[in-house]
Chain A
Amino acid sequence: MLAAGLALLLAAGLGTGPGRAAPRGVLREELLLRPLPVGDVAAVFQFRTRWDADLQQGAVSHYRLFPKALGQLVAAHGVRELHLALTQGFWSTQSWGQPPLGAPTGAELWVWFQDTVPDVDKAWKELSNILSGIFCASLNFIDSTNTVTPTASFKPLGVANGEPDPCMEVVCTENLTPWKKLLPCGSKAGLAVLLKAERLFHSSYHSQAVHIRPICRDASCLAVSWELRQTLTVVFDSFTSGQGKKDWSLFKMFSRTLTDACPLASESKVYVDISPKNKEKELLEVTPTPTSVHEAIVQGDKTTYAVYDLLSPVLFNTSRSLNVQLKWKRPEDSSELSTPILHAQRYVSGYGLQTGEIITLIYNTHPYRAFPVILLETVPWYLRLYVHTLTIITKGKENKPSYIHYQPAQDRKRPHLLEMLIQLPANSATKITIQFERALLKWTEYTPDPNHGFYVSSSVLSALVPSVIAMKDVDVEESPLFMSLLPSSDGSSYFLRLYTETLLVNLPTPDFSMPYNVICLTCTVVAVCYGSFYNLLTRTFHVEEPNRGGLAKQLANIIRRLRGVPPI
């Protein structure tokens, strides 16, 4: 085991020299705490690693802040953009407001490949297998039967464009450790110390995501940098766990406090959303005093953030750890929910195991502006959609979509894909219904628990939602969190992507011992037929001679004699 390394004669005159400065990465970590209308608290972590090197050339093999596993993946498989989200629970837009970063329940993988990739299907397969290895998730079950290539709903977020290949799949998620391992500081320092699995999974909503994309290195956009964003959204039900109080603190939620920033991070901030919801100021109070207050317009709403800069030495002057606390000054009884402008609902109706109906309700609560929305539906092949039954009704009238793209399913090959551009009038609810028939699967195609039902992945709504207040152009790099990930547009509207509920549909399930029963039954029939044939053919017939009679005859004779009748 132990061996001293031999001194080796290296050729003289080959000193390493100054060496060119290797591209260094920049790490920024952010945590956004947002009290939700109903009393829950949403905590959103975002770790951004930016690397000024071009992964695509394949020349880079020396990694610093960027995780090697993901870097190699991007380089080896010609990935342009990769988005992977693993989610448990459902973000209910109606009661929580618009999600900071939407993700469907289950797993979503969404990849653009380079134009140079010859066989996208093969690359997709390999990629999903490797990703499932890295994240300990069963992403390898993502195949052509649950993958679609939408035409309008998904566009690359980075500076590249290529073939999209998103996919929606339902997988269980408890994959936090590999996700944390990708962080340069792990969970040893910085904001990531709060990521304690037992608290994070004791929550109403948990979504972790990895986004890799190329971005412009500078304003002129001549060179490409790569950006890795790791985000984690968690919603704590602090209202019920806090004895009816809506107050919270970092310690109560995570059972940890912050002590320092990750030494590798160039920015480490905690944002607390303290925007006055009901035009009454001073309703809540955060301790300790924030280092600064930041105002921004997020998702069409003016938002005020209390900012704690972990890198500023002032913060840790008084106490050694930071435990952000929020107290409501007086119990807020008039907790009327401000309904979000765009929200949606989806459910299955109908009875029996033959047919059914998928109903999607989309609400536009904007008082005076109509806007279009793109709806993407992915339905597995075993629900046979009847497209002629597609009806879209708004305010009692039929609403004709201005764009429809429908790709019918192929049995066991690909799912149904339905994309529609629907205009939502102001202050309206739109009902979209489509009927389907349930298919009978082959008996080996059923899951181990077929009576649980089969999941239908969420439909995706993409919209440019008009803003209530005017937004000014913000510097993307400077603004906190998410605004830089989703494309922002002009000042009057903002981009939003919503995911609806996943559906659970029962399929007719056969009796799984049936094949054996059939074998037994046919064999019995064959055996009975065969047996009688055999009997018939091999039995020897011979003429029966009357003999002296057996016991019955003797008995009969005795009785006859007693009666005085001659015996036979």
Chain B
Amino acid sequence: MAAAAADEIERSRGRRAALSFAAIAVLLGLPLWWKTTETYRAALPYGRIAALSWLPVAVSVSVAFLPGSVPADLPRRLPYGDVRQERVPVGSRSDVTSRTEMAYRGTTAREEAALSADTAREADAALHALQDSPSGSLTVYVVPEASSLLPQGINVYVGKHRSALVRAGPGLATLHTRLQQLMQVMSFSASSIAAALSDRVPDGQLGPDAWRHLKSSLGYEITFSLLNPDPKSHDVDWDIEGAVNHYVQPVLDKLNLVANFSVDSQILYYAVLGVTPRFDKESSSFILSAHSLPHVINPVEARLGSSAASLYPVLNFLLYVPERSHSPLYIQDKDGAPVLTNAFHSPRWGGIMIYNVEVPASPQTSLPLHVDVDMVRVMEVFLAQLRLLFGISREELPPEFLLESPGNEGLADWELDRLLWAHTLENIATVSTTLTSLAQLLDQISNIVIKDDVASEVYRAVAAVQDAVAELAEGRLRSAFQASKEAVTSSERAFFDPSLLHLLYFPDDQKFAIYIPLFLPMAVPILLSLAKMLRESRQSKKEPTKMD
């Protein structure tokens, strides 16, 4: 009996030893292993990232009535304010609300004096001197119906800056429709918001125009290339320096607010298009049809070379002087009609213009023929393409609208504002996409390390983008754009930080290959003795019932 008791003591000692082994392994070993093999991850503001999809946009419009133009059915006495808010439908992932703050007032004496000018253009210039309108805002002056300021048949005049003249209609309803149309032209519209957020809008909802615009970037490089595939017959010369200074630079100076620009040019010899043009007997000319144009760019692109100086997206403008044997060369559109400008553009890439050299009358002319390119003709086309690629093309206007030409700057203030709206929205959308996908990646791939500096970039990006959203909601466009640019820089830096990838390649099979030699021999005895104890305790529970 004493032996059995001693045996029992011995057995329980063994049990205790096995249990304490298991306890040490679980309480000490597991946390230690977990802690030492954990990938470092600084805390990230996931909640704030998820909340970034809400985008309020505000625009303030002040409507000033000249004496005699106040509609009779005005709901309240001047001045008064009116706020309209609507939801812009742009897919399910973001929630854009636009708020229009209208302020109705009478004109001041100085404005009246300015509006007493002879023509609308003079009035616009005089009003610009008076105004100090922040970017993004609009001022609309309502002139009496009988005013001679606007030409006959024109009801709305859009100035060079941030103001417009509207002829008062017979009632408030007419005025409202005109203001509505004006807003569509001068400020953002649902379609321009959708285009800016094109990444988040499902396919098929957008027209082809939305894909044409260049993505928002901190800078762009503009490269003009003269392609001369036949230097034996044509000695082509262009005064690109002068043309850039005269035509492109003023536009870029204006666009400087939006991004940095650098301009360069090159001449490429023996660079040919990828398509052999078809000879057309009737006009004795060569034809490039619309469907073959997509194949034109690739072979040329190999010669264009990339920029060594920066990483900004490049806008290419190519001037192609066809070979003598393929001259003259014309582009035909889908209907077979020749394209007037003999040019086409490729979305988000640039434009190509074909410049035909006039064949000299006498065939005896000595080759090579010296050609001086008419840069006015070329730059007209390239500037128009530049506007298209930046999405500042004019939309279809009602016939009663008159647009003031922006002059040499090539860009009116309100057009710049529209561009800023679009780029700010796009930047915010980009940041929110970048941060969301970073969060998703972290969720899916557990090996990604987040260092403190990456985390601080993420925090900075989130703070900047919240700042931008807040500024946008207040209608302060300029500062919203600045904040959104900072947010883009920080978020890209965080997303593309190389330290994220340091532990990425650590496949599971290698992990197991290293763990198994240690863990298997240690775990097996513990598990076996635990199983044995379990079995014994079950048996000892059964036995007493039998005894009873």
Within 8 Å CB of B408, what residues of A?
10-11, 14
Within 8 Å CB of B331, what residues of A?
2
Q: How far is the CB of B535 from chain A (nearest CB, A)?
A: 15
- CA of A68 to CA of B384 in the docked complex: distance in angstroms? 25
Q: Which of A522-568 contact B (CB under 8 A)?
A: 523-524, 526-528, 530-531, 534-535, 537-543, 545
Is B231 touching A264 in the complex (CB atoms < 8 A)?
Answer: yes
Q: Which of A4, A9, A22, A531 has its CB near the most chain B CB atoms (within 10 A)?
A: A4
Is B384 touching A8 in the complex (CB atoms < 8 A)?
Answer: yes
Is A539 touching B14 in the complex (CB atoms < 8 A)?
Answer: yes
- CA of A548 to CA of B387 in the docked complex: distance in angstroms? 107
Within 8 Å CB of A1, what residues of B?
290, 293-294, 344, 346-347
Residue of A nearest to B332 (CB): A2
Q: Which of B302-324 contact A (CB under 8 A)?
A: 302-303, 305-309
- CA of A8 to CA of B308 in the docked complex: distance in angstroms? 33
Is B290 touching A526 in the complex (CB atoms < 8 A)?
Answer: no
Q: How far is the CB of B184 from chain A (nearest CB, A)?
A: 20
- The count of chain B contact residues (Cβ–Cβ below 8 Å) is 80
Is A63 touching B265 in the complex (CB atoms < 8 A)?
Answer: yes
Per-position binary interface string of chain B over residues 351-381, scored 1 when its CB falls under 8 Å from any chain A CB and 0 otherwise: 1010000000000000010000001100111
Q: How far is the CB of A561 from chain B (nearest CB, A)?
A: 32
Residue of A nearest to B353 (CB): A5
Q: How far is the CB of A52 from chain B (nearest CB, A)?
A: 15
Within 8 Å CB of A15, what residues of B?
376
Q: Is A288's beta carbon under 8 Å from chain B?
A: no
Within 8 Å CB of B393, what residues of A?
6
Within 8 Å CB of A14, what residues of B?
246-247, 408
Within 8 Å CB of B83, what residues of A?
none
Q: Is A188's beta carbon under 8 Å from chain B?
A: yes
Within 8 Å CB of A68, what residues of B?
223, 264, 266, 305
Is B10 touching A188 in the complex (CB atoms < 8 A)?
Answer: no
Asked whether A16 and B270 contact (CB < 8 A) given A69-B306, A537-B21, the answer is no
Is A130 touching B308 in the complex (CB atoms < 8 A)?
Answer: yes
- CA of A68 to CA of B21 in the docked complex: distance in angstroms? 72
Is B380 touching A5 in the complex (CB atoms < 8 A)?
Answer: yes
Per-position binary interface string of chain A over residues 1-34, scored 1 when its CB falls under 8 Å from any chain B CB and 0 otherwise: 1111111111100111101001000000000000
Is B380 touching A8 in the complex (CB atoms < 8 A)?
Answer: yes
- CA of A264 to CA of B529 in the docked complex: distance in angstroms? 90
Q: Is A75's beta carbon under 8 Å from chain B?
A: yes
Within 8 Å CB of B123, what residues of A?
none
Is B343 touching A5 in the complex (CB atoms < 8 A)?
Answer: yes
Is B262 touching A61 in the complex (CB atoms < 8 A)?
Answer: yes
Within 8 Å CB of A353, what residues of B?
none
Which stretch from A178-186, A206-214, A344-352 is at the chain B interface? A178-186
Within 8 Å CB of B302, what residues of A?
181
Q: Is the interface of B mostly helix, strand, loop or mixed?
A: helix
Q: Which of A68, A72, A76 has its CB near the most chain B CB atoms (within 10 A)?
A: A68
- CA of A542 to CA of B12 in the docked complex: distance in angstroms? 12
> Which size class do A's interface residues fall under?
35 or more
Which stretch from B110-118, B487-495, B513-521 is at the chain A interface? B513-521
Q: Is B6's beta carbon under 8 Å from chain A?
A: yes
Asked whether A538 and B14 contact (CB < 8 A) given A5-B380, A69-B305, A76-B308, the answer is yes
Residue of A nearest to B519 (CB): A523
- CA of A542 to CA of B9 in the docked complex: distance in angstroms? 10
Q: Is B345's beta carbon under 8 Å from chain A?
A: yes
Is B309 touching A62 in the complex (CB atoms < 8 A)?
Answer: no
Residue of B nearest to A537 (CB): B17
Is B513 touching A516 in the complex (CB atoms < 8 A)?
Answer: yes
Q: Is A189's beta carbon under 8 Å from chain B?
A: yes
Is A134 touching B21 in the complex (CB atoms < 8 A)?
Answer: no
Residue of B nearest to A3 (CB): B345
Asked whether A3 and B388 contact (CB < 8 A) given A63-B266, A539-B14, the answer is yes
- CA of A263 to CA of B514 in the docked complex: distance in angstroms? 67
Option from B269, B290, B294, B307 in Cβ contact (under 8 Å) with A185:
B269
Which stretch from B88-96, B235-243, B421-429 is at the chain A interface? B235-243
Q: How far is the CB of B32 from chain A (nearest CB, A)?
A: 15
Option from B11, B232, B239, B309 in Cβ contact (under 8 Å) with A76:
B309
Within 8 Å CB of A130, what residues of B?
308
- CA of A523 to CA of B21 in the docked complex: distance in angstroms? 18
Asked whether A16 and B243 contact (CB < 8 A) given A7-B380, A134-B308, the answer is yes
Is A181 touching B264 in the complex (CB atoms < 8 A)?
Answer: no
Q: Which of A48-73 contact B (CB under 8 A)?
A: 61-65, 67-70, 72-73
Q: How far is the CB of B424 from chain A (nearest CB, A)?
A: 26
Residue of A nearest to B532 (CB): A538
Is B264 touching A16 in the complex (CB atoms < 8 A)?
Answer: no
Per-position binary interface string of chain A over residues 166-190, scored 1 when its CB falls under 8 Å from any chain B CB and 0 otherwise: 0000000000000001001110110
Q: Which of B497-548 contact A (CB under 8 A)?
A: 513-514, 517-518, 520-522, 525-526, 529
9 closest Cβ contacts across the A-B interface?
A527-B521, A523-B517, A61-B264, A5-B381, A19-B239, A11-B408, A188-B270, A540-B14, A542-B7
* Residues on A facing B (Cβ under 8 Å): 1-11, 14-17, 19, 22, 61-65, 67-70, 72-73, 75-76, 130, 133-134, 181, 184-186, 188-189, 260, 263-264, 516, 519-520, 523-524, 526-528, 530-531, 534-535, 537-543, 545
Given A5-B343, A537-B17, 11 other A-B contacts at CB below 8 A? Answer: A5-B353, A10-B376, A61-B263, A63-B264, A63-B267, A64-B266, A67-B266, A133-B306, A185-B231, A520-B517, A540-B11
What are 17 residue pairs bridging A and B, where the CB atoms are less than 8 Å apart in the complex?
A2-B339, A6-B388, A8-B383, A10-B379, A14-B408, A16-B242, A16-B243, A22-B241, A61-B262, A61-B264, A68-B223, A69-B307, A260-B232, A524-B521, A538-B14, A538-B15, A538-B17
